[in-house]
Structure 1
């Protein structure tokens, strides 16, 4: 029963994460992390399938393997967040919603750069 519940939650969260790619209101990464957690504990087949998806590779593979996100990837993530959130903030009909989305964006930015570590940058051994 527990295995089936985890599998169902994993599938639902993967669906929400997939929708979150297109809708900035739904956070993609947390849903994909939840899917990875549920699939790892419920189904080897779904765990392998998830790790082969583009969504996994783009959004959470680095974090799942090393608990770090490279700085270059963080900037790409941040650019996507700012683009999508700016549309949401612009079209939000109520001022409290605009303020909330702005605070959420600032929180995500802080969390991404202050809490999640980046691996050390590799220095080139090539000298001129």
Structure 2
């Protein structure tokens, strides 16, 4: 079971890191999954993961506050809209464009309905 959890943790970490530069892939859920897997299987991997900038930037605040500030939500959406907009402009296939629009709508709805908006501390 330990090897299975470490394997899932490594795959989740890689997907989370890819999600940092590819806004179509969510970062936070993958890094959370990796943290859970590593916490139950390897102290060394868990300690490494929670010390990374990716964990601190995407997971720690969310884990601590159970939500994002309105400013953080808009920053996430801005990067998403830019990348998807570029993809929409570059790809001339109607079904892919429809898929991109549906994905953006779903991500926006989830961010504003399922993820709590916390007050800005600054």
**Cα distance in 1, alignment partners of residues 23 and 61 from structure 2:** 21
For the residue of structure 2 that corresponds to 1:60, the secondary structure is helix
Give the 3 Å change call, closer, same or farther, for CA 44–66 of structure 1 in structure 2: farther
Q: CA deviation at 1:45?
A: 2.1
Across the two proteins, how many residue pairs are aligned to each other?
Answer: 122
1:104 aligns with 103
In structure 1, distance between residues paired with 2:43 and 2:50:
11
TM-score normalised by structure 1 residue count: 0.83
Task: Tell which structure's C-alpha radius of gyration is larger.
Answer: 1
Larger RCO (CA within 8 A; separation ≥ 6): 2
Note the residue ranges of structure 2 that are not aligned, 5 or more in a row.
none
Unaligned runs of 5+ in 1: none
Structure 2 counterpart of 1:72: 71
* Residues 24, 80 of structure 2: 8 Å contact kept: no
More deviation, 87-96/102-111: 87-96
Point out the structure with the larger strand share: 2
Could you list the structure 1 runs, at least 4 aligned residues long, displaced by more than 3 angstroms after superposition: none
Q: Match of 1:40?
A: 39
Q: Aligned partners of 2:91, 2:40: CA distance in 1, in Å?
A: 39
CA RMSD of the aligned region, Å? 1.9
Shift of 1:93: 3.9
Q: How much has 1:13 moved relative to structure 2? A: 1.3
| Contact residue 70 and residue 119 of structure 2 kept, 8 A | no
1:47 is paired with a residue of what secondary structure? helix
Q: How high is the TM-score relative to the length of structure 2?
A: 0.86
